[in-house]
Chains A and B, each alone.
Chain A
């Protein structure tokens, strides 16, 4: 079946450093890729998304890049802060469906 691989599973960075989380998807026709942040004990919330007709999207300190040829997309967080500590999930929308396939999550710890 279709899948999304996400790496790393855990990531620790010093406050102020950058963090990068990478995902690879298998459905070459997928065209929508959201990223969710889940703080401890809370629901996942969308933080940024990208559609297949663009290669990069930025929103303040976060950015997402997409390489359709390699079927690979990444989340970049710059100038990390303690409140960025959370679990981050990538997802891909399967073409022709309403189904999202999620990655297994990355636990980011920002050390003060």
Chain B
């Protein structure tokens, strides 16, 4: 059974703080993704990675960076948190390089920036 975990369910940070969101998957998946979920906007892709140390920008990468040093771990970094980054953050992973396999999601991190 695929398991995708995220380091925190709830996080409260102050404007200007550096924030790390961690995601770990235990099924040796090639691809990992970070999404942001906001009411009425659905899921928007921030960054994704298709291999260790490889990353590509999604649709809304501004204000974010990512790190994938190991295959099972994909980190999202907010260099200087701002109030408009208050949101639900979802990590996902999928198996094959073909990209047509199921995405498995983590439980989400609800981030509040004050």
A interface with B by C-beta (< 8 Å): 1, 6, 9, 31-32, 34, 36, 42-46, 49, 51, 89, 91, 93, 97-105
The size class of the interface chain B forms with chain A is 20 to 34
The answer on a CB contact under 8 Å between A98 and B41 is no
**Given A43-B107, A44-B105, A45-B105, are A102 and B43 neighbors across the interface (CB < 8 Å)?**
yes
Closest A residue to B59 by beta carbon equals A1
The answer on a CB contact under 8 Å between A99 and B45 is yes
Contact residues in B for A99 (Cβ distance below 8 Å): 45, 48, 58
Contact residues in A for B42 (Cβ distance below 8 Å): 6, 89, 102-105
A46 to B31, CA, bound (A): 17
Q: Which of A32, A42, A91, A99 has the most CB of B within 10 A?
A: A99
**Given A97-B99, A104-B42, are A43 and B48 neighbors across the interface (CB < 8 Å)?**
no
8 A-B interface contacts by CB (under 8 A): A1-B59, A43-B107, A45-B105, A89-B43, A100-B33, A102-B35, A102-B44, A103-B42
Whether B103 is near chain A, meaning CB under 8 Å from some CB there, is yes
A53 to B61, CA, bound (A): 33
With A43-B107, A97-B99, A98-B56 already in contact, 9 other A-B pairs whose C-beta atoms are closer than 8 Å: A6-B42, A32-B100, A34-B103, A46-B102, A49-B102, A99-B48, A99-B58, A104-B41, A105-B40
**Given A42-B107, A104-B40, are A34 and B102 neighbors across the interface (CB < 8 Å)?**
yes
A36 to B40, CA, bound (A): 16
**Given A1-B59, A44-B90, A105-B42, are A98 and B99 neighbors across the interface (CB < 8 Å)?**
yes
A104 to B37, CA, bound (A): 9
A44 to B50, CA, bound (A): 21
Q: Closest CB-CB distance, A103 to chain B, in whole Å?
A: 6
A105 to B90, CA, bound (A): 15
The answer on a CB contact under 8 Å between A100 and B108 is no
Q: Closest CB-CB distance, B62 to chain A, in whole Å?
A: 15
Contact residues in A for B58 (Cβ distance below 8 Å): 99
Q: Closest CB-CB distance, A57 to chain B, in whole Å?
A: 14
